[in-house]
Amino acid sequence: MPVAEKISSYFSGIGAKRLSRVEVKPDNSNQHEFNGINAFKEFFGSDKIRFKGTFIFLSDDQDKVDKIDGTLTWYDARAKHPTRSEFRLYYTSNIVIEAASQDDLLIIARTKADSLMIIVAPEGSTSEKQLLWLFGLDEVGDKFITRDFEYEDRELGFAGKYILSELGIELVEKDTSYFDELFNRFGNTFPTTKVFSEFSRSTVIGVSAIEEPDKTLLAWLEREELLFKALEAKIVSAKLKNGFGLVSSEVEEFISFSLSVQNRRKSRAGHAFENNLAKIFEVNNIYFAKGATTERSNKPDFLFPGLSEYQNLTFPADMLTMLGVKTTAKDRWRQILMEADRVSLKHLITLEPSISKNQTDEMIAQKIQLILPEPLLSTYTQSQQQTLITLSQFLNFLKIRQLKTLGI
């Protein structure tokens, strides 16, 4: 059995609080500090330290996510005083703090590389809820709450790894048992996502898409992510070693290559999710159409039982089912609302942990039934869980509906 990965692999400790007005609108134009920072003495000690830092504004709107490097200085402003100490953490002005508002969540995390991550998430957002869950925090106030992961370690699981990826943290994977087979099969080229999904599934044993579809789906997706990153690293390393051609065009070629890597990562994740769901539907003998065109050239990810039934206006609309598939649902779930006019209650499956209650309430109001793989349910509140269904429950719903339509 693989060893469960812990949050201590990435962070030694964190502190969290709500930003005050003076912290987001400081009078001093260039040098800034966080208030009530003495709580960090247990992590930082008493000596003056200059940290490299990464500032992240983690908005639910991907267009408003900001990330910038900077420096921070920890020191005792009363170091020469015989009896008193007053520790401060200074940082230079940056776009992340400028984008923050009073009462937004602030996380200061010391990484295992001995740098700092300064993370800000808007109050009431899904990003805020995910950070609170990741670091094992309940609601926080205007005083720093600290966590020392030497003593309060937490297993990451699928949800924790998902949130770390959202922060731009490259996960350290230790299982390399299928890398030789992977490289022998594909060399220095990317196969189609369908072929890659099939290969990745073939390396996962001890799962059942019929008996445990939720756990099976996550096991397939985790393995595919691991193998994809290994193949990507091999291909990118070879490209970097060989260079990008003539000096006059080297910068443009590098930028183009970098963008292609990022775009491939994003599109592959969505296609992998769809491919593995399709396999689960097939194994469970569910009839479906994938990527079929409905009204206004819209293409819902899945239609049940199929496109011909959807186009047949004599087929009862209340026997039709539409499923949207979104790896992330923070600001993208509304896209499915216009994808199948004949289906009033739309289903949406996502891998997003800890979506805010405001968002899930709005989904309910918009007649969207949210589906989550069962291991992710625990990242939601008890009241939210009452409105969610698992993949297994969705499959049972489809099977019952399918049996009813056989007599139509």
Conformational region of residue 378, where left means phi above 0, alpha means psi within -120 to 50, and beta covers everything else = alpha
| Backbone torsions φ then ψ of 2, nearest 5 degrees | -65, 150
Task: State the catalytic residue, choosing from 10, 162, 178, 310.
Answer: 310
Q: Strands of 116-121's sheet, edge to edge?
A: 31-33, 87-92, 66-76, 49-57, 116-121, 105-111, 11-18, 145-148
**How far apart are the C-alpha atoms of 194 and 401, rounded to whole Å?**
28
**How far apart are the C-alpha atoms of 58 and 164, rounded to whole Å?**
12
Within a 13 Å sphere around the CA of 252, how many CA atoms are in the beta-carbon half?
Answer: 5
Catalytic, 287? Answer no
Encoded amino acid at 273, one letter: F
Question: Could you count the other beta carbons within 10 Å of the beta carbon of residue 80?
Answer: 6
**How far apart are the C-alpha atoms of 353 and 164, rounded to whole Å?**
12
Check: CB of residue 131 under 8 Å from CB of residue 70.
no
H and E: helices and strands count for the chain: 13, 14
CB within 8 Å of 25: residues ≥ 6 apart: none
CA gyration radius, the chain: 24
The residue with tokens 């990242």 is 379
**How far apart are the C-alpha atoms of 354 and 131, rounded to whole Å?**
9
Catalytic sites, residue numbers: 310
